[in-house]
Amino acid sequence: MKKVLSIVAFCLLSSGCSILLSSVATGLSDNLAAAILNQDDPELVRAGAPSFLLMLDSFIEGSPGDPDILAAGATMYATYGAVFADDAIRASRLTSRARRYALTAMCETYKPSCRWPDATFDEFVASLDGIGPRHADLLYTYGFASLAFLRAHSSDWNSLAELPQIEALFNHYLDISGDEVNVSVYTFMGILLTLRPPALGGEPERAREYFERAIAETNGNDLNAKVEFARGYAKLLYERELHDQLLNEVINADPYKDGFVLSNVMAQEEAATLLAEADDYF
């Protein structure tokens, strides 16, 4: 299982940076987020992002109980660990920190969440009922960080056992977010439902609905939704025609869509790799 999480995660950077900048007088510009999202050189972001991660760590050291700063740190660490980590050990380390920050942020604002690591499935789901719209963004951040962590640990069956909890979390997020929903959640749901084969609880047909919803909600501008659709659904079910169609659409698309440039460029690179490997797989 590839460790690369949905590159659409980069759309989270804008909200993460905005949260950070609204809470801490850093002198940084909100344009930083837009610059990252619209950068067409992934290696530049790979090289530059660690400095920002260290800066976030310093802010968290200074305000360890601030949920907004913790959420910003969780978002950045989950994104970097999922997309740019060079090996499985590093991905595990970075996404573990992301999840830890996200859990602390939730715990600071909603005390029942402090018990989530030891909760049974029924206890976890019952605790979600107390989370309303004002905590939707933090819930989403915890879900994203958890998905990054679980995908980085996809070879560990104990970690995969948590997938139903995160699915329940995102379902609750959809229930409470209303018009403020982050459409990336549809891609995340598709990924969740295809991390396991059908014989072990995966639901590829439901996943297909979510992938198609993600594509529709962004008017096709988010190319990574198609890559995840091809990898998570078409490849899983050996649908070569759909697999190649989706990936060729990605490769032939214009990546320069505001807010999606970085993720689209990386999606095109991933699509080319998947197509080159297709003959060996199908």
When divided into structural domains, the chain yields a total of: 1
Share of the chain above pLDDT 70, in %: 88
Residue 219 CA: distances (Å) to CA of 65, 92, 213, 260: 39, 33, 10, 12
- Give 170-187 pLDDT, tens digit per residue: 999 999 998 889 999 999
Q: Quote the tokens at residue 154.
A: 């996809």
- pLDDT value at position 151? 86
Q: How far apart are CA 127 and CA 120, in angstroms?
A: 11
Q: How far apart are CA 233 and CA 160, in angstroms?
A: 18
- The DSSP output letter for 228 is H
In which band, very low, low, confident or very high, does the pLDDT at 259 lie, cut at 50, 70 and 90?
confident
Torsion over CA: 10, 187, 141, 274 (sign): negative
In which band, very low, low, confident or very high, does the pLDDT at 167 lie, cut at 50, 70 and 90?
very high
- pLDDT value at position 31? 57
Tell me if 203 is assigned to some domain: yes
Residue 240 CA: distances (Å) to CA of 89, 246, 272: 32, 10, 15
In which band, very low, low, confident or very high, does the pLDDT at 55 lie, cut at 50, 70 and 90?
confident
Tell me if 219 is assigned to some domain: yes
Mean local confidence (pLDDT), 216-223:
95
- pLDDT value at position 33? 64
Tell me if 247 is assigned to some domain: yes
- pLDDT value at position 32? 63
Q: Phi/psi of residue 174, each to 5°? A: -60, -35
Mean local confidence (pLDDT), 114-132:
96
Mean local confidence (pLDDT), 164-168:
94
Mean local confidence (pLDDT), 127-145:
96
In which band, very low, low, confident or very high, does the pLDDT at 72 lie, cut at 50, 70 and 90?
confident
Tell me if 232 is assigned to some domain: yes
In which band, very low, low, confident or very high, does the pLDDT at 3 lie, cut at 50, 70 and 90?
very low
Tell me if 223 is assigned to some domain: yes
Burial of 46 (0-12, 13-18, 19+ CB in 10 A): middle
Domain that holds residue 265: 198-282
* pTM for this model (two decimals): 0.86
- pLDDT value at position 118? 93
Q: How far apart are CA 52 and CA 141, in angstroms?
A: 18
Phi-psi region of 189 (alpha: psi -120 to 50; beta: other; left: phi over 0): alpha
- pLDDT value at position 256? 96
Residues whose CB is less than 8 angstroms from the CB of residue 197 and which lie 6 or more positions away in sequence, other chains included: 236
Q: Could you give the angle at the alpha carbon of 166 between the alpha carbons of 116 and 237, nearest 5°?
A: 150
Tell me if 68 is assigned to some domain: no
Tell me if 78 is assigned to some domain: no
Tell me if 106 is assigned to some domain: no
- pLDDT value at position 24? 45
- Give 77-102 pLDDT, tens digit per residue: 998 999 898 889 999 999 999 999 99
